[in-house]
Amino acid sequence: MDTPALRIRRVGIDTWRENVAYLHRNCPVVRAAGFQALAKVAVRANGKTIAAVLNVVDDDRIVEACELGLSEDAFARLQVAEGHDVQVAHAEAPASIAALHRKIAGERLDRADLFALIQDVAQARYSKIELAAFVVATHQTGLDRDEVWHLTEAMISVGRRLDWGTQVRGGPVVDKHCIGGIPGNRTSMLVVPIVTAHGMLCPKTSSRAITSPAGTADTMEVLAEVALPFEKLAAIVRETNGCLAWGGTADLSPADDILISVERPLALDSPGQMVASILSKKIAAGSTHLVLDIPMGPSAKVRSMAEAQRLKKLFEFVAGRLNLQLDAVISDGSQPIGSGIGPVLEARDVMRVLRNDPAAPADLRQKALLLAGRMIEFDPDVRGGDGWRIARDILESGRALAQMQAIIEAQGRRTQPPALGEMTHEVLAEAGGTVQSIDNLRLARIARLAGAPQVPGAGVDLLVKVGDSVAAGQALYRLHAQYETDLRFARDLARKDSGYRLGTAHDGDRPGEAEAA
């Protein structure tokens, strides 16, 4: 039976992809219905029902005794005006809860299980506690390749899909994605203007950083708007051939965005979830051809060639089942790519490459040309092996820069881009020698403590790379921060371990590019 009606109060709290309701402890409904904190409740108004996690409060400045407070997410999902009457009842368990319990127990889920589970995830019927249980279970017990295939299908099914129809006239819709884990690896922001200047369609949507100091969307946001609604995103691609947008506002694979909101604080990125996340977004964006970058290195997500090959084969299996042509490249992930780690610093590197600036990082330029060349070779009119040369000519001629400027204007140029953090600290070499290795994870953590990506101008500016000779007391990298506390945290961590390993020139060979596979 429903409880008496309560008035909605919009509580200005961002609960990040979770519906949260607030009731006062003295509310008669709390006592009569036996509600407890963290219980799941059903909130009904105007024929619409949402599930929410209940928080019980004692402060009537948040909600009064006859009010129901709703978080920003819950208020937006219910779609009624503040002050509207609502009814609250105990929520029924999601229909797929039995499948979730079986996965927690280590059992295999079939296609119907995963479709039902992802439907409930997309409808916000699960709390973050329950979502965390699913993420941890799939990380611990894994997903077999059929489960990953069906999970990807399910994620695609609950969102919108872009259809480019006659615009491509049967030609490929291309995209590029990196599995992540390498700081500074902003090749997408170079690849997209190069391949779209060639005339190919490339609707690039990206997530924000999960465990890294910056994602493509975070870095592009330094230059332009990235939170583009579905219709605007489609219009920009039709106008310019491409985009560099955040996928979260386009409603492409929305269940993935909800799962990412749990994966981020847990710092988990299991292979099965990774494959489903990446491929669901690409297929929802209408892509037919994908170049996938799998960096491999001692401090990358993928540590060995055997692991890289296993992941490559899983991507190829799922992509094949979903009619997506995939070209996977296993690349060198032994150190950060480029010089900057953090949104503003990485945007600086990208624009230097596009402007053919002598200060542009050579490794970022070369890797972007390699990947862009592979994408251009999806063009049936391009001979195999010619892609790199075409990509280089587009970059050196200035056409890629002009194309990037067109995409920035179409998405909405930032009139006041964020500045580089003015508070700095240089991390110095304790002794002289040759840089033998750089720990990607350590540098990423230091950059995050400095404030990235939440503070766009924060991060790490690398001054030397693997193979460079340094003298005792020479700066290895410079920290940038906006707040003194952030700078202190990052400085203290760097003081314990800079992430750099120095030795004599014969202690180890400079890592070369991993062989493209």
CA distance linking residue 223 with residue 299, whole number of Å: 30
DSSP 300: S
Q: How far is CA 141 from the centre of its chain?
A: 23
**What length does the chain have?**
517
Sign of the C-alpha dihedral computed for residues 460, 464, 465 and 471 taken in this order: negative
Whole-angstrom Cα distance, residue 19 to residue 77? Answer: 8
Quick one: 81 exposed, middle or buried, by C-beta within 10 A (0-12, 13-18, 19+)?
exposed
Other CB atoms within a 10 A radius of the CB of residue 71 amount to 23
Q: CA distances (Å), 115 to each of 71, 83, 95, 285, in order?
A: 28, 36, 11, 20
CA distance 160 to 76: 19
Under a CB-based contact definition with an 8 Å cutoff, are residues 118 and 142 in contact?
Answer: no
Phi, psi of 277 (to 5 degrees): -60, -50
425, 488 contact by CB (below 8 A): no
DSSP class of residue 303?
Answer: -
CA distance 291 to 61: 53
109: nearest Cα among 157, 143, 133: 143
Reduced to 3 states, what is the DSSP secondary structure of residue 389?
A: helix
- Which residues form the catalytic set? 269
Q: Are strands 433-438 and 340-341 parallel, antiparallel or unpaired?
A: unpaired
**In this structure, are residues 435 and 477 in contact, taking their beta carbons and an 8 Å threshold?**
no
